[in-house]
């Protein structure tokens, strides 16, 4: 408060009474001169007395205020000097102007005046921690092995309109140590699943089975015990494990050596032992970690097994997965799926089938085969078909004169008008919502079925009524062929439908060379009984001379990386670029010594990459680093907003990362 204002308020009442006597004296002078003079003399005396008295009181008050201010300043200085917390004053440029003994003790250094705080605490910047509105500071600082909670404020210096920053350092090392200890002792959940238990038991001698099971359990126990975990066997082929968070870094650094130890088991088992591992971490509680672990193990199985997946609240991390999938010999799942699918079709008002963008013959053949099941069950059915490759184009030309298929194929707008809440939407040959022909219609119905054989990625269509995801299958057409055999014993599969399914299997297996198993040939045999003309299939894959020459040009321009990887580039000159680059990549596998091949193709919208492998190199893992996916031996990716040379550099970097991780 201003001192002069305070004094005026203090003496206002006394002055009023003195002046009142003066006014009364003037009035009395006109009526009674002697009385008036007496009152005026009294007024003058009181005025002089009041003036002298007020002056004395003012001097006393000012002295009191000065003494009080001095006492407060001395108390503040004494309090600051003896403040129990380490304290430092800084200018806004970070230079130290004053500090107490507690602050000096932290850094163990004398003469800290004019030292920049950033030279003491790396990365400490006032501009980053000051709340400009409240003029306060609050942050956490680490210095060596000690931790501090730093709070403070900005104090103005009125004489030069500058600011000083006062910071108080409260040590929180003990609290931080306790929090870290509690965090390290938290538990996360994992699951270990034996991928091929039934196949192992069927292909191992009875006398060797006990030894095989014992070795499997020993490997799992040794791996869990290595990291101080707890193991619980809940089923014959499934284990639940518990680890403390303090071991997570060591587990990841170990890169799940259990996968290799399992494959190394050799006790007269005809097929290798493989396991899938799923870990759920960083959840709010054990329930959420358990949910993450289940998602992780499902992801590992969806990608073919023989790998580990770590799931937290933000992402999936993948380890292993460098070996080919082994075919499941049982058809139980196909029979169960066909029964469920039959019920969904029967309860739907109509059925719409769609595949992925830029449909190939596997996507088309699967959709074309399923439409026969829908018709057999008496349901209206349509196939959403957009852009497609030349093989599909050749198949459509053969259907032009077939009246039965008139109106079967619809475009995006027609499909959107057809899909209602009670419509059954079947998605084939993809499980990623971003890859389907029309992602908008996914939200228009709650009845969605997914049939796919690609290794599972982090993105998956949600709210599905039925999922048949089988990465062991050679193609989606193989899966659909098995489903059709169980959906109706009297299924009247037409010749063109059988040929479309057969062509899908042929293209994905490179004419029954890659990724084929017993069930692949059984499906092909079933289709052959329905009139498949193998010569007609061969003509579907024929190319004109121009395309053949373009493919040869791509192969001619190939370069060799790491002595066994072929890489080539091209620019698109036609709509059939997908088939062209895929076939070029396939052909380069015929070069002696080549184990994997990649072809990059520049289009108007993006850079398309096609990868192929003989099996020793996982092209899926490589192209996943670029946002793509697929299978161990066949994968693809699309890169946007990059040049062809930039895409090539990124691909080479992904290949280098793949081999570096394998070495580690």
Averaged pLDDT for residues 472-485: 92
- Evaluate if residue 499 carries a pLDDT over 90: yes
Q: How far apart are CA 516 and CA 303, in angstroms?
A: 17
Looking at 514-562, which runs of residues are DSSP E strands?
559-561
Interaxial angle between packed helices 476-487 and 332-347, expressed in degrees from 0 to 180 and rounded to the nearest 10: 70
451-464 burial, b at 16+ Cβ within 10 Å, e below that, comes to bbbbbbbeebbeeb
What per-residue confidence (pLDDT) applies to 550?
86
- Evaluate if residue 512 carries a pLDDT over 60: yes
Tell me which CATH code domain 87-177 carries. Answer: 3.30.450.20
What per-residue confidence (pLDDT) applies to 11?
47
Q: Are 18 and 50 in contact (CB under 8 A)?
A: yes
Least confident window among 323-332, 457-466, 496-505: 323-332
Give the percent of the chain with pLDDT over 90: 37
- Evaluate if residue 466 carries a pLDDT over 60: yes
Domain ranges of the chain: 3-81, 87-177, 188-320, 332-540, 545-663
DSSP class per residue in 259-290: HHHHHT--SS-SS---EEEEEE-S-SSHHHHH
pTM for the model: 0.62
Domain 332-540, CATH among 3.40.50.12160, 3.90.1640.10, 2.40.420.20, 3.90.850.10: 3.90.1640.10
* Confidence label for 7 from pLDDT (cuts 50, 70 and 90): very low
Q: Dihedral of CA 235/236/238/242: which sign?
A: positive
What per-residue confidence (pLDDT) applies to 241?
95
- Evaluate if residue 325 carries a pLDDT over 60: no
Averaged pLDDT for residues 630-656: 90
Q: Are 190 and 295 in contact (CB under 8 A)?
A: no
Pairing of strands 275-280, 307-311: parallel
CATH 3.40.50.2000 describes domain 188-320 = no
For 60, residues 6+ apart whose C-beta sits below 8 A from its C-beta are none
Distances from the Cα of 45 to the Cα of 21, 56, 321, 503, angstroms: 11, 17, 110, 127
Half-sphere exposure of 313 toward its Cβ, with a 13 Å CA cutoff?
A: 7
* Confidence label for 178 from pLDDT (cuts 50, 70 and 90): confident
CA 633 to chain centre: 25
Could you tell me the two tokens for 50?
């009041």
- Evaluate if residue 10 carries a pLDDT over 50: no
Instruction: Specify the DSSP element, H or E, that contains 324.
Output: none
What per-residue confidence (pLDDT) applies to 327?
56
What per-residue confidence (pLDDT) applies to 447?
93
Classified by CATH at the fold level, domain 545-663 comes out as: Diaminopimelate Epimerase; Chain A, domain 1 (3.10.310)
Q: How far apart are CA 652 and CA 197, in angstroms?
A: 38
**pLDDT tens digits, 400-414:** 888 899 999 999 999
The alpha-helical segments, DSSP class H, found in 271-423 are 286-302, 332-347, 361-376, 390-399, 412-418
What per-residue confidence (pLDDT) applies to 344?
93
What per-residue confidence (pLDDT) applies to 216?
93
* Confidence label for 62 from pLDDT (cuts 50, 70 and 90): low
If phi > 0 it is left, if psi is from -120 to 50 it is alpha, else beta; for residue 262 that is alpha
Q: How far apart are CA 105 and CA 146, in angstroms?
A: 12
- Average pLDDT, rounded, for the chain: 84
**pLDDT tens digits, 517-537:** 888 999 999 999 998 988 888
**pLDDT tens digits, 29-45:** 677 767 767 767 776 77
Pairing of strands 447-452, 424-428: parallel
What per-residue confidence (pLDDT) applies to 113?
81
Least confident window among 189-193, 202-206, 347-351, 454-458: 454-458
Top pLDDT among 208 and 112 is at 208
What per-residue confidence (pLDDT) applies to 547?
79
What per-residue confidence (pLDDT) applies to 352?
96
What per-residue confidence (pLDDT) applies to 373?
94
- Evaluate if residue 463 carries a pLDDT over 50: yes
Could you tell me the two tokens for 117?
């705080």
What per-residue confidence (pLDDT) applies to 79?
56
- Evaluate if residue 623 carries a pLDDT over 50: yes
Per CATH, 87-177 and 188-320 having the same topology is answered no
Could you tell me the two tokens for 25?
């004296």
Tell me which range, 12-16, 351-355, 580-584, is most confidently predicted by mean pLDDT. 351-355
Distances from the Cα of 514 to the Cα of 118, 500, 536, 589, 637, angstroms: 61, 19, 21, 12, 20
* Confidence label for 438 from pLDDT (cuts 50, 70 and 90): very high
Q: How far apart are CA 448 and CA 428, in angstroms?
A: 11
């Amino acid at each position: 408060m201003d001192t002069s204002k305070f004094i005026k308020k203090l003496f206002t009442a006394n002055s009023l009474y003195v002046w009142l006597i003066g006014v009364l004296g003037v009035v009395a002078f006109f009526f009674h001169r002697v009385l008036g003079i007496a009152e005026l003399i009294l007024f003058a005396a009181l005025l002089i007395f009041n003036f002298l008295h007020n002056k004395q009181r003012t001097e006393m008050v000012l002295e009191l205020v000065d003494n009080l201010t001095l006492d407060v300043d001395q108390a503040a200085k004494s309090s600051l000097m003896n403040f129990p917390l380490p304290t430092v004053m800084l200018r806004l440029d970070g230079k130290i102007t004053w500090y107490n003994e507690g602050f000096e003790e932290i850094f163990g250094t004398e003469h800290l005046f004019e030292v920049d705080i950033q030279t003491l605490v790396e990365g400490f910047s006032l501009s980053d921690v000051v709340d400009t509105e409240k003029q306060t500071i609050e942050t956490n600082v680490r210095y060596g092995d000690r931790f501090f909670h730093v709070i403070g404020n900005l104090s103005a210096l009125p004489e030069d309109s500058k600011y000083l920053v006062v910071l108080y350092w409260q040590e929180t090392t003990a609290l931080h140590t306790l929090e870290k200890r509690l965090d390290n002792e938290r538990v996360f959940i994992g699951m270990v699943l034996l991928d091929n238990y039934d196949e192992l038991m069927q292909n191992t001698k009875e006398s060797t089975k006990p030894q095989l099971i014992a070795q499997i359990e020993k490997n799992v126990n040794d791996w869990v015990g290595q990291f101080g975990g707890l193991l619980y066997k809940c089923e014959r082929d499934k284990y639940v494990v518990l680890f403390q968070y303090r071991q997570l870094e060591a587990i990841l650094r170990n890169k799940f050596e259990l996968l290799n130890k399992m494959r190394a088991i050799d006790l007269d088992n005809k097929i290798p032992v493989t396991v899938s591992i799923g870990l759920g971490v960083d959840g709010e509680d054990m329930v959420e970690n358990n949910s993450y672990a289940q998602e992780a193990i499902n992801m590992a199985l969806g990608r073919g097994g023989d790998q580990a997946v770590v799931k937290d609240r933000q992402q999936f991390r993948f380890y292993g997965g460098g070996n080919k999938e082994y075919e499941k010999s049982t058809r139980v799942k196909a029979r169960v799926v066909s029964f469920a699918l039959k019920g969904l079709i029967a309860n739907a008002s109509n059925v719409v089938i769609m595949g992925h963008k830029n449909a190939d013959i596997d996507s088309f053949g699967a959709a074309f085969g399923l439409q026969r099941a829908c018709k057999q069950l008496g349901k209206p059915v349509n196939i959403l078909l957009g852009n497609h490759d030349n093989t599909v184009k050749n198949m459509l030309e053969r259907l032009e004169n077939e009246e039965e298929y008139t109106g079967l194929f619809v475009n995006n707008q027609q499909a959107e008008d057809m899909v209602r809440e009670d419509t059954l939407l079947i998605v084939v040959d993809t499980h990623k919502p971003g890859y389907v022909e029309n992602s908008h219609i996914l939200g228009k119905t709650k009845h969605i079925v997914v049939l796919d054989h690609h290794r599972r990625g982090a993105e998956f269509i949600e709210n599905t009524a039925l999922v048949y995801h089988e990465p062991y299958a050679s193609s989606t057409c193989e899966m659909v062929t098995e489903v059709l055999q169980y959906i109706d014993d009297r299924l009247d599969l037409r010749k063109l439908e059988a040929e479309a399914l057969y062509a899908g299997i042929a293209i994905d297996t490179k004419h029954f060379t890659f990724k084929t198993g017993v069930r692949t040939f059984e499906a092909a045999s079933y289709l052959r009984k329905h009139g498949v003309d193998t010569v007609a299939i061969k003509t579907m894959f024929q190319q004109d001379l121009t395309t053949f020459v373009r493919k040869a040009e791509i192969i001619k321009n190939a370069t060799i990386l790491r002595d066994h990887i072929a890489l080539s580039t091209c620019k698109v000159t036609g709509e059939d670029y997908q088939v062209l680059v895929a076939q070029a990549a396939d052909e380069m596998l015929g070069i002696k010594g080549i184990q994997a091949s990649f072809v990059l193709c520049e289009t108007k919208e993006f850079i398309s990459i096609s990868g192929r492998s003989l099996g020793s190199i996982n092209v899926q893992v490589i192209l996943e680093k670029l946002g793509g996916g697929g299978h161990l031996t066949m994968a693809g990716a699309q890169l946007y907003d990059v040049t062809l040379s930039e895409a090539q550099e990124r691909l080479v970097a992904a290949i280098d990362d793949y081999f570096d991780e394998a070495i580690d």
